[in-house]
Amino acid sequence: MKATVTAHRDFTISDIDDRLYSAFLEHLGRAIYTGIHEPGHPTADKNGMRGDVAQLVRDLKIPYVRYPGGNFVSAYNWEDGVGPVADRPTRLDLAWHTSDSNAVGVHEFAAWCETVGTQMMLAINLGSRGLDEARNFVEYVNGPTGSYWGDLRKKNGHADPFDVKLWCLGNEMDGPWQVGHKTADEYGRLASETAKALRAFDKSLELIVCGSSNSDMPTYPEWERTVLEHTYESVDYISLHMYFANRSNHTANYLALNHKLDNYIGAVASTIDFVQAKKRSKKKVTISFDEWNVWYHSNAADREVLDGHGGWPHAPRLLEDAYNFEDVLQVGCILNTFIRRSDVVRIACIAQLVNVIAPIMTEPNGPAWKQTTYYPYYFASIFGRGTALQLGVTCPGYDADVADNVPYLDISAVHDKTTNTIAFFAVNRHATDALELSIDLKGFGKARVIDHQVMTHSNLKVVNSLSEQNAVVPKAGSGVTVDGDTLTGKLPAYSYQMIRVQLS
Ligand code: AHR
């Protein structure tokens, strides 16, 4: 089967915002405790943070990590996580039916972010709390000493403001499961007034208002319109979330789901345009897709804790999806979609980062390892920075539940002018046939292939586990060459590839 692609130097989508490769860590399950934080672990640093995990995170060069939730944030008191650790209260977490010692709070998280070379993106509780706590938290984190909250931060060991720019105004406030769930009008008003107060403190903050929790919500996309009508002039981004699942074990339908993602982004982009036009505004709100991932493998195992039958455990195993090879293809397609919509999606966060629906897993007092999905995320984060190219793609397709004529080839390309390279990220969705790929490189001059990584496996369901950590890893590919202006190569059935080309 043939797939032909045209890439032209001047046909671009957008300069990609590096924050597209951000991540998310929530006080949930073992994401924090025995995930990033495990004081007794042989690799722990002086703050009790695991060194092995920090290294795997550092390698990903993640620009921002969203924290501390998620559903958790909607009943979280940030004050519980500051001050001497011994004095911090253990609280019941209503979102996940667990308890939290608060041994990690904003100071510990900030230190960890510095260690791993990332920045904080903080979420504010607009569920059980409101404007006053929001402004107190922001003043505590960013305010000057010589004022109440700045002085308290100094007393707690950090005189300098943390200088956090990105703030989420609540989490999934459209969701009936959320503590403090609101209607679009109730939330829109609260978010607007909260944004006004935060901007009175610091105009340069970047604020993210909650959009829909997913595109199946009954309130979508009316929610976006209403919330944006309340907040358009005072926020910068609208947050979207989407999780992917292969519940009926139908790979072709599963791998077409990024078409649903694409429609979701398109509809919200149009809603932004609608509200912008209605407001006669010159401002452009964009999208922060701050939760995305595959999430379904662990659903059945989680019921016991989530239904409250296990009491209030501290850091239980929750949402510990073991990702298989099929999920590599899915994550590759999702990241391709974000690259192709990088004109409107400026921030995206893989949810989550460690143990909880995560590319990195840990064993308490044991090793940390890479899940299968670590790799497509790694390749996109490291080589997907620059300008997204508008590709012309011709390839046969198939009809799926969410869309017709889904091309077997899913591809994106990023031109990095600083290194004068192009990275292609390609997924072959065909179960049995290789794709004969031909890419016409127009206007780039001479080109040669400098890296070609392939992920493929005879078993779609194989996972990386504690006992078998490298069952699915990328391998150096072969046979991709450039002759004149044409790159050619063969993409095996069900495969993910990253191909880098040096221009001269
Ligand atoms: O990432 C897991 C959960 O998914 C988050 O807490 C919530 O925001 C979403 O529903």
Task: From the CA of 293, give the closest atom in ligand 1.
Answer: 1
Of the candidates 486, 374, 408, 354, the one whose C-alpha atom is nearest the C-alpha of residue 32 is 354
Q: Looking up tokens 């904080």, which residue turns up? A: 120
Q: How far is the C-alpha of 45 from the C-alpha of 88, rounded, in Å?
A: 21
| Å from CA of 123 to ligand 1 middle | 12
pTM more than 0.95: yes
Of the candidates 9, 5, 1, 2, the one whose C-alpha atom is nearest the C-alpha of residue 487 is 5
Active site annotation includes 206: no
Q: For residue 3, name the pLDDT band (cuts at 50, 70, 90).
A: very high
**Chain centre distance of CA 139:** 27
91-117 b/e (C-beta count within 10 Å ≥ 16 → b): bebebbbbbbbbbbbbbbbbbbbebbe
- Contacts (Cβ under 8 Å, ≥6 apart) of 357: 243, 293, 294, 295, 298, 319, 320, 321, 351
The verdict on 363 and 411 lying in the same domain is no
Ligand 1: which residue has its CA nearest to atom 6?
70
The verdict on 444 and 336 lying in the same domain is no
Choose one of 383, 405, 438: the last residue of a domain: 383
Span 331-337, mean pLDDT? Answer: 99
| Å from CA of 268 to ligand 1 middle | 20
Q: How far is the C-alpha of 439 from the C-alpha of 164, rounded, in Å?
A: 42
Please give the biggest Cα pair distance in the chain: 69
The verdict on 301 and 412 lying in the same domain is no
Domain that residue 200 falls in: 17-81+89-383
Span 412-419, mean pLDDT? Answer: 98
Ligand 1: which residue has its CA nearest to atom 1?
351
> According to the model, what pLDDT value does residue 195 have?
98
**Which position among 26, 172, 224, 320 bears the catalytic label?**
172
Q: How far is the C-alpha of 114 from the C-alpha of 17, rounded, in Å?
A: 21
The verdict on 117 and 240 lying in the same domain is yes
The verdict on 334 and 423 lying in the same domain is no
The verdict on 362 and 442 lying in the same domain is no
Q: For residue 249, name the pLDDT band (cuts at 50, 70, 90).
A: very high
Report the domain count for the chain. Answer: 2
> According to the model, what pLDDT value does residue 484 have?
94
> According to the model, what pLDDT value does residue 398 have?
98
Span 290-301, mean pLDDT? Answer: 98
Span 159-184, mean pLDDT? Answer: 98
> According to the model, what pLDDT value does residue 164 have?
98
The verdict on 374 and 473 lying in the same domain is no
Share of the chain above pLDDT 70, in %: 100
| Å from CA of 18 to ligand 1 middle | 23
Confidence check: pLDDT of 219 > 90: yes
- Strands 345-351 and 22-24, by their bridges, are parallel
Is the CB of residue 238 less than 8 Å from the CB of residue 224?
A: yes
| Å from CA of 331 to ligand 1 middle | 18
Residue 40 half-sphere exposure, CB side, CA atoms within 13 Å? 6
Q: How far is the C-alpha of 193 from the C-alpha of 366, rounded, in Å?
A: 47
DSSP 17: P
The verdict on 244 and 355 lying in the same domain is yes
Task: From the CA of 319, give the closest atom in ligand 1.
Answer: 2
456-485 b/e (C-beta count within 10 Å ≥ 16 → b): bbeebeebbeeeeeeebebeebeebebeee
> According to the model, what pLDDT value does residue 38 have?
98
Choose one of 383, 403, 425: the last residue of a domain: 383
What pLDDT, in 10s, does the model give residues 55-87?
999 999 999 999 999 999 999 999 999 999 999
CA 220-302-116 angle, to 5 degrees, is 80
Q: How far is the C-alpha of 288 from the C-alpha of 264, rounded, in Å?
A: 13
Confidence check: pLDDT of 310 > 90: no
Decide: helix, strand or coil at residue 208.
strand
- Strands 409-416 and 435-442, by their bridges, are unpaired
Decide: helix, strand or coil at residue 343.
coil
Span 147-160, mean pLDDT? Answer: 98
Bridge-partner residues for 406, per DSSP? 398
For residue 256, give both structure tokens: 């077409």
451 φ/ψ sector (left φ>0, alpha ψ -120 to 50, else beta): beta
Peptide bond into 42 cis (omega under 30): no
CA distances to 55, 307, 326, 350, 497 from 322, in Å? 21, 22, 11, 15, 22
The verdict on 375 and 436 lying in the same domain is no
Task: From the CA of 213, give the closest atom in ligand 1.
Answer: 10
**Which position among 26, 133, 139, 291 bears the catalytic label?**
291
Active site annotation includes 133: no
Decide: helix, strand or coil at residue 356.
coil
The verdict on 338 and 284 lying in the same domain is yes
The verdict on 223 and 354 lying in the same domain is yes
CA distances to 16, 180, 187, 208, 464 from 171, in Å? 25, 10, 11, 10, 31
Q: Which residues line ligand 1 (CB under 6 A)?
A: 26, 69-71, 171-172, 213, 241, 291, 351-352
Choose one of 383, 400, 420: the last residue of a domain: 383
Q: How far is the C-alpha of 136 from the C-alpha of 82, rounded, in Å?
A: 13
Q: How far is the C-alpha of 247 from the C-alpha of 190, rounded, in Å?
A: 37
Which CATH number covers residue 231? 3.20.20.80
> According to the model, what pLDDT value does residue 146 have?
98
Give the mutation target among 67, 71, 97 for probing the ligand 1 site: most ligand atoms within 8 A of CB: 71
Strand (E) positions, 258-344?
286-294
The verdict on 344 and 415 lying in the same domain is no
CA 461-465-471 angle, to 5 degrees, is 60
What pLDDT, in 10s, does the model give residues 94-148?
999 999 999 999 999 999 999 999 999 999 999 999 999 999 999 999 999 999 9
Of the candidates 34, 15, 31, 12, the one whose C-alpha atom is nearest the C-alpha of residue 353 is 31
Q: For residue 413, name the pLDDT band (cuts at 50, 70, 90).
A: very high
Q: How far is the C-alpha of 476 from the C-alpha of 186, rounded, in Å?
A: 53
Bridge-partner residues for 287, per DSSP? 238, 345
Task: From the CA of 24, give the closest atom in ligand 1.
Answer: 1
Q: How far is the C-alpha of 336 from the C-alpha of 384, rounded, in Å?
A: 10
For residue 351, give both structure tokens: 């949810």
